[in-house]
């Protein structure tokens, strides 16, 4: 996979946005960049078991990997966050968005590994995700927020029920 070859190449210069067959790789600064580096990517080639492990870490209900695979393939955008130490990489964050490729996008499955929370990394992943959507000329970015993350999204510029518009979920009668 070209993406990781790049990361592990000592002459790696991918410290600014790069594009590689629709993929994208961005490094952000952390406290100790010599030991661990954080990268963002839009590459969809994510190990499903590693993603499941990440979702397990925040206590999400397990989902059939067949369906997770399809959801990743059919999402408009998939963003992931990786910690790289030496030649090891670890998936530490994930988000994806559905879209009509024209007007709107809805962000789903935002997850940050608990050990990497409260460091501003969730904010960085969301900003990266929003930037990617805006770069595709999507003007209406939406999501459905659990109560405990409403303030987190509010600080990123998300507005609750603008003009009284309410999120609704369908359940069988």
Site string for a copy of itself, 72-91 (x = CB under 8 A): -xxx----------------
**Segment contacting a copy of itself (CB under 8 A): 4-12, 49-57, 110-118, 149-157?**
149-157
Work out how close the CB of 78 gets to a copy of itself at its nearest, in angstroms, rounded to a whole number.
10
153 carries an active-site annotation: yes
SS3 call for 82: strand
Is the torsion defined by CA of 133, 58, 32, 11 positive or negative? Answer: negative
Strands 37-41 and 23-28: antiparallel
157 is a site residue for a copy of itself (CB under 8 A): yes
Q: Which of 141, 126, 13 has the alpha carbon at shortest distance from 79?
A: 126
Taking CB under 8 A as the criterion, the residue among 108, 115, 117, 120 binding a copy of itself is 108
Backbone torsions φ then ψ of 153, nearest 5 degrees:
-70, -30
Q: Which of 46, 51, 66, 37 has the alpha carbon at shortest distance from 3?
A: 46
Taking CB under 8 A as the criterion, the residue among 9, 63, 119, 120 binding a copy of itself is 63
Residues labelled catalytic: 153
Q: What residues make contact with a copy of itself under the rule CB under 8 A?
A: 63, 67-68, 70-71, 73-75, 96, 98-104, 106, 108, 130, 140-147, 150, 153-154, 156-173
């Amino acid at each position: 996979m070209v993406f990781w070859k790049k990361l592990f190449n000592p002459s790696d210069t991918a410290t600014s946005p790069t594009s590689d067959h629709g993929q994208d790789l961005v490094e952000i600064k952390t406290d100790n960049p010599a030991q661990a580096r954080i990268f963002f990517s839009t590459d969809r080639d994510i190990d499903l078991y590693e993603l499941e492990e990440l979702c397990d870490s925040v206590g999400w209900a397990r989902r059939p990997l067949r369906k997770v695979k399809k959801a990743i393939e059919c999402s408009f955008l998939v963003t992931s966050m990786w910690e790289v130490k030496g030649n090891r990489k670890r998936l530490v964050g994930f988000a994806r968005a559905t879209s009509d490729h024209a007007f709107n996008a809805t962000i789903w499955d935002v997850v940050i590994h608990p050990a990497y929370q409260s460091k501003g990394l969730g904010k960085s992943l969301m900003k990266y995700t929003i930037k990617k959507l805006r770069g595709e000329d999507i003007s209406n970015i939406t999501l459905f927020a659990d109560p405990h993350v409403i303030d987190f999204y509010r600080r990123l510029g998300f507005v609750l029920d603008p003009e009284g518009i309410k999120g609704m979920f369908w359940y069988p009668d």
